[in-house]
Amino acid sequence: MRVRVGRGMIALLPVLLLLCGGSAAGQEPRDDWKLEALSTDLLRHLPHSLEGAPLTSQEREEIYRQIDADLRASDLLAGQPPEQERETVMGAAVGTVHLAEDGSEQVLVRAPRAVCGNGGCPVWLFVSERGKLRAVLASGGGALIVRKTTSRGFHDVTTVWHMGGGEAGYNVYRWNGRKYEEIDCYRARGAGGGPPVITDCPKCDCGAPGWCGCAPPGNKP
C-alpha cells in the first residue's frame, strides 16, 4: 500500500536506491564513501518548507512539535523568542523518500539552514501510522544514502557528515520494526587518491552530533 501524505504526494527526491557492496557474515560493509557522489544532498534536494509543504495541518504540527523539541534539547534555538522560534522551525525543508519495500513513502525533514553547521544539519524521518506521522529517526548530516540491504521491510540508511580536511563521518541505521537504530559509525579520510583510511567513530559526550557515535536527541534507546 502506498502511504499518502497530506493533500497529495510530496515531490520525490531525485535519488533513491544506492547499492552498497556486500560483506562477510556478521560484518557491516564500510564502503558508503564509494557512493557518496550519488547520495541525496540534504541541503539541496528537499523541495518544500515545512510551512509550505502539502501536508495536513495535523501532520505539519506533528512534525513541528518533534523537531522543535529536539532543537530545543540541543540548544539550537537558544535566545529566540517564541514567535521567531516558530518561524525558524517552519523553515525546515521537507520531502519524501521510498525506504519501505511495500512502495510506501516516508517523510524526510532537514532542519532549517539557520541551525545547520558546515558539516550538515539535523535530519528526521517520519512514517505514517494510524493516520499520524511518527518520528523514527533523528540524526544529521549533509547527505543521505539508501542502502540496498533491508531489515523487516525497510532499507538501511546512512547519514554523512562532511568534516573538512578530506574526512567524512558515516552513521549507519537499520529498521528494528519500530524505528531506525544505529548499527555502525565510522570515519573515512582520503588517502592521496587511493581508498580512504577507515576508523571507528571516537567516543564522545552524547550531547554532540551523531557522527561522534552518540544517539542524537529523539533517537535514544
Kindly list the distances between the CA atom of residue 44 and the CA atoms of 30, 34, 109, 123, in Å, as whole numbers in the listed order: 25, 20, 12, 13
If you ran DSSP here, which 8-state letter would residue 12 be given? B
Q: Read off the pLDDT band of 159 (50, 70, 90).
A: very high
Q: What is the mean pLDDT of the chain?
A: 80
C-alpha atoms less than 13 angstroms from C-alpha of 190 in its C-beta half-sphere:
8
How far apart, in whole angstroms, are the C-alpha atoms of residue 93 and residue 13? 12
CB contact at 8 A, 53 and 6: yes
> Residues 156-177: what's their mean pLDDT?
91
Is residue 209 helix, strand or coil? Answer: coil
Report whether pLDDT(153) > 70.
yes
Hey, what long-range contacts does 199-206 have (CB within 8 A, 24 or more apart)? 201/169, 201/171
In which order are the strands placed within the sheet that holds 194-200? 40-41, 143-151, 154-164, 167-175, 180-191, 194-200
Report, as an integer, the average pLDDT of 13-17. Answer: 36
Tens digits of residue pLDDT in 117-132: 877 899 999 999 999 9
pLDDT of residue 27: 62
Q: Which residues of 61-75 are buried (b: 16+ CB within 10 A; e: fewer)?
A: ebbbebbbebbeebe
pLDDT band at 45 (very low <50, low <70, confident <90, very high): confident
